[in-house]
Structure 1
Amino acid sequence: MSRFAPPDFNHLAAPVAWWAAHAPDQIALVDGAGTWTYAQLNQAIIMVRNTLLSRGSQPGDRVAVLGDNGAAMVALMLGASLAGAWVVPLNPRLSDREIDEIARHATPTCLLFANPGTGRARQHAERCKAQPLTIEGLGPIALAETTHHAPPEPNADVAALIYTSGTTGRPKGVMLTHRNLMISARASGAIRAISPADIVYSVLPISHILGFTGVMLGTLTYGGTIMLAPRFDPPGALRAVLHDHVTMIIGAPSMFALLAEYAALQGMSVLPPHHLRLIASAGAPLDPAVKAAVEACFGMVLNNGYGITECAPTIAQTRIDQPRRDCSVGMLLPGLDARLVGEAGGIGALHLRGPTVMAGYYRDEAATAAVLDADGWFDTGDLAKFENDHLFIVGRSKEQIIRYGFKIYPAEIEAVLNAYPGVRQSAVIGRGDGAHQDIIAFVEPAAGITLHLPDLIDYTANRLADYKRPAEIRLAAALPMGATGKVQKASLIA
């Protein structure tokens, strides 16, 4: 656990203000444009707030902020929050349709662009007719007026409106309060023992909940330094590990697997000495083959965790002083209660209650009522089991496959496929309805590898019960990935 106990911050921008007062010259952010101290970041946040207030922004307005990881993106989001707005973070990788759909639903007063002259952000800024906005020290910023503006919301507790990925349908706006987010940031940062001595490599998008809370808010709460990478790039990540004194990386399993694979291609099956003290997997299921390969490369334990947007997001983490050889996601965060509903064979639907559970889905009382009951119990949609207080996620309840009356969990089959030499990653889905679904597996070979499909079929047949064996295995040059490194199974089904 972290040795330093920060104050109980009650606002997203409060940690930066506190560190600016107590350690103003401590480095808060590093990006491609340079470094920002806590004092500089705090001043930028205040200037963003003042700019929005001067334009008539009111508490309860929604303010959308679009950009890749960078200092300006951090300042815009926290500055909008300091102005009393509900922050709506947007990733530039979203399509025009997705951004328009979110804007129609969230009805923001404006859309702010960080670094609008580069990449997808430029295309979105041009389409939205964004105009340059000058805020001293932030670099290029732009602002677009919106046509869907609605009055401010009365709930001053809500800090962020974060839209789910929408893999199971239309994206929903998750209302997260300052308390939800700061309790999650404080608890996860404590478990990782973050301190001002840490440099946390931030490759997960801070526009997504894990990067927003687990990386950005968690690091700022404990006075650490965030090294912001606009997107995952194996050569850049390896340089950061070997040359930039990075002490911590939190990423999806696929990111660690690709980094280990790239290092091996550079002749480093085992990394040379580095400053990393913690690597942690989150955002997608971790299987034993990936865990073993990454640990062999890094020479250290790959910790694991589990969370969802509706829980701000962290639900469980493995403890650094209790390393796990298996793929448990660890113990629940302090303050969370759990129950398994419809338990059979130790496996049940995971329901949670506690201070990090969302306030609800924005403008969707029916969807909120479907997952959050009157007693505060939230249905995660995941199937889980406990072993000695350690949580194991078996799979998504909606992804569960029923075949010949047996319940089958894709994660088990994916773990077998991923252990086959030359397989980079896999994804398993069910096809059909009722009690006789077919199992379809999609397999992505590692770089430069040609897989022999009959051998792979024999391999799975020897390691899975007959009813768990895929009816079809399809080779894919690349599986569709989301911004957080999770396979987008909805695209495979389509």
Structure 2
Amino acid sequence: MKRTTRFRPHSVTREDRADGSILLTSNHALGPVVETTGDWLHHWAEEAPDRVFLAERYGAGWRRESYVSVLEKVRAVGAALLARGMGADTPILIMSGNGVDHGILSLAAQYVGVPTAPVAEQYALIHGAHGRLRGAIELLKPKMAYVVDADLYVEALGLDALVGVEIVSSKPGHVLGVTPFEELLEGDASVDIDAAHARVTPDTVGKILMTSGSTSSPKGVLTTQRMMCTNQTQLADALPFLRERPPRIVDWLPWNHVFGGSHNFNMMLANGGSLYIDDGKPVKGLFERTLENLSLVTGTLAFNVPLGFGMLLAALRKDAELRRRFFEDLDLIFYAGASLPQEVWTGFEQMAMEVKGEVPLITSSWGLTETAPSAMMQMEPTDRSGIVGVPVTGVTVKLLPDADQRCEVRVKGPNVMTGYFEDPEKTAAAFDAEGFFITGDAMVFIDPDDPNRGMRFDGRISDDFKLLTGTWVRAAQLRLDMLAHLAPLAADIVITGADRNQIGVMIFPDRAELEREGFELHEDRGALTCRLLQGEIHRRLAERAREVSGSSSLVSRAIVLSEPPSMPEGEMTAKGNLNFRKVLTRRKDLLERLYDDNDPAVALA
């Protein structure tokens, strides 16, 4: 199978130290790094002034903003912010999703040294999630808050926590006291915008990004200009085609998350690319909008979560013209959030060969909000999903292997944060004595004798637990395996068994799939009962039990939950990740039922 040859071969050094730890570093040198995101904007406004930088849907077409127009608006908005007395200690809370004005406001704030703090729009739109929004406001103490449409966010704007905060909106609507975004675009001639921009340094905080809260309370990651700018150099070092021609993406990934808002957004800005904002999502009722957007514009890079790629593959199989346009300029398919199902991977490979005779680089990387985000990447073509590769340039990865050579991962580099917002205790606890950030993630080598083969993500250390027998269960990897065995019935699952004799699973079902399969579902105190469904789950558990050995991976029981995970109750983060501890705590009665062999809702292997 012909694969693209436009990649950078892995070249890493492995150092085995006397204390048992392992250091991995790239043998490639870190390329030149600009000082601020404003440097990118100035460069491309001069080199390609009329090229589209940001675009969003407007009627039947697009509202497009060129590099030179974005720079002009960024300078005007930056002056308006400074005229209000804003600075490093007055964050701007951004409460709504991706949009051109959102992007201009973010860049304007970075241009003059004012941090922005984008939060998940669900916190403002869902009444039950307002507590999480209030928590963010109380932590950040913003001086300004932005929403795209004040009427849509009116309930959140009425929170007492926002009293005294200037509300800015692109569509003020009927909400009184809201500043139109157009007023910021008027700027302020009394401000020396050039002098203000000159005071911004690599150490200036550009963003405060909230962690997901899937393992603990959300924390504010102080994201500096150096972190963002370094990481884009690291990405371009890893993906040389980014420097060969301006990239283009049609992307929905949310900007409150480091992957959408720093990785993808800044990748376009750093390389003179074009970001077409996809106002669809890989969910029923919104994915059709994504397909409509792709019928208008396709990208040279495709970013998505595995579910989104699965839906896209199915749609491309039905539409020959879209299939042709999707692949004709495609350099990269990049999945994030979880391993791409192998059948989806293979489907894209086969389709690419049929359309253009070669396969784009299909890959992923590893990192966290605290690493800006990419710290490791699979840069070479491979035929397997789930590999996160080797360290990017300028990063040192420290591995602490256990007896089975599963390694705890720590990381150091110029793209790593210096601390959490207003939390010196958590900051101190986040680094070891050598200054490595303690990620809490685990990995294993693809080939222990050849570090250039890369590493595979192997879950969170904190997700692991012991059975009563003392056997360790690696819950993260087991969860992925069980999701594959229970697909498509299970939308997500929680692995159980801590301090018990057996491993079980609590299943959040795909209700639509169960209904399509004809299961007659009945609710019973938070669980779904159905004789045929129980029989199907029993069959799958028993089939898998014949394939595995050892109690550490044998799943013996399952229960199907009737209520989906609750964001207001903290069971699900804004990024769509389950908070396993919260699920187990909130549904402790169902957990007890799971271990009752006589409960009719329980399926046993």
Partner of 2:458: 394
Map 1:144-183 to 2 at 5 A: 157-183=204-230
Superposition deviation, residue 295 in structure 1:
4.8
Superposition deviation, residue 464 in structure 1:
2.6
1 CA distance for matches of 2:341 and 2:472?
A: 19
Contact 1:48 1:76 in 2 (8 A): yes
Cα RMSD after superposing both structures: 3.2
Contact 2:278 2:293 in 1 (8 A): no
Moved more, 455-464 or 283-292: 283-292
Task: State the Cα deviation string for residues 300-343 of structure 1 (Å, max 9, x = none).
Answer: 56312211111111122222x42342421122111111122252
Whichever residue aligns with residue 280 of structure 1, its letter is F
Whichever residue aligns with residue 282 of structure 1, its letter is A
Contact 1:234 1:262 in 2 (8 A): no
Q: Does 1:194 align with 2:242?
A: yes
Q: Does 1:469 align with 2:554?
A: yes
Pick aligned residue for 2:336 from 282, 293, 304: 282
2 CA distance for matches of 1:73 and 1:328?
A: 34
2 CA distance for matches of 1:14 and 1:201?
A: 24
Cα 1:9/1:156, change in 2 over 3 Å: closer
Structure with the greater alpha carbon radius of gyration: 2
Superposition deviation, residue 474 in structure 1:
3.4
Whichever residue aligns with residue 472 of structure 1, its letter is R
Contact 1:438 1:471 in 2 (8 A): yes
> Could you say which structure has the greater relative contact order, defined with CA pairs below 8 angstroms and 6 or more residues apart?
2
- Tell me which stretches of 4 or more aligned residues in structure 1 moved more than 6 Å: none
Superposition deviation, residue 166 in structure 1:
1.0
Partner of 2:132: 98
Partner of 2:279: 230
Moved more, 181-190 or 64-73: 181-190
Moved more, 105-114 or 165-174: 105-114
Task: State the Cα deviation string for residues 420-440 of structure 1 (Å, max 9, x = none).
Answer: 485265545343544757332
Superposition deviation, residue 292 in structure 1:
4.2
Whichever residue aligns with residue 344 of structure 1, its letter is A
Pick aligned residue for 1:29 from 46, 54, 59: 54
Whichever residue aligns with residue 72 of structure 1, its letter is D
Partner of 2:544: 460
Task: State the Cα deviation string for residues 458-487 of structure 1 (Å, max 9, x = none).
Answer: 232133335112233234689646544544
Pick aligned residue for 1:69 from 87, 98, 104: 98
Q: Does 1:87 align with 2:116?
A: yes
Partner SS state of residue 82, structure 1: helix
Moved more, 424-433 or 94-103: 424-433
Map 1:339-350 to 2 at 5 A: 339-350=398-409
Cα 1:304/1:78, change in 2 over 3 Å: same
Give the gaps of 5 or more residues in structure 1: 140-153
Whichever residue aligns with residue 236 of structure 1, its letter is R
Superposition deviation, residue 15 in structure 1:
1.3
Partner SS state of residue 180, structure 2: coil
Map 1:3-402 to 2 at 5 A: 8-33=33-58, 34-94=63-123, 95-118=129-152, 121-127=153-159, 128=162, 130=167, 131-136=177-182, 157-192=204-239, 193-194=241-242, 197-232=246-281, 233-261=286-314, 266=318, 271-274=323-326, 275=328, 276-288=330-342, 291-292=345-346, 295=349, 300=359, 302-319=362-379, 321-387=380-446, 388-389=450-451, 390-402=454-466
Partner SS state of residue 13, structure 1: helix
Cα 1:415/1:284, change in 2 over 3 Å: closer
2 CA distance for matches of 1:431 and 1:138?
A: 52
Whichever residue aligns with residue 150 of structure 2, its letter is P
Superposition deviation, residue 186 in structure 1:
2.5
Superposition deviation, residue 374 in structure 1:
4.1
Superposition deviation, residue 160 in structure 1:
1.4
Contact 1:382 1:395 in 2 (8 A): yes
2 CA distance for matches of 1:421 and 1:432?
A: 18
Task: State the Cα deviation string for residues 221-266 of structure 1 (Å, max 9, x = none).
Answer: 00010011235132222334444132222122222223334556x5
2 CA distance for matches of 1:63 and 1:261?
A: 40
Contact 1:6 1:221 in 2 (8 A): no
Contact 1:312 1:357 in 2 (8 A): yes
Cα 1:444/1:463, change in 2 over 3 Å: farther
Whichever residue aligns with residue 373 of structure 1, its letter is D
Cα 1:39/1:267, change in 2 over 3 Å: closer
2 CA distance for matches of 1:377 and 1:24?
A: 41
Superposition deviation, residue 30 in structure 1:
1.3
- The percentage of counterpart residues that share the same residue type is 21
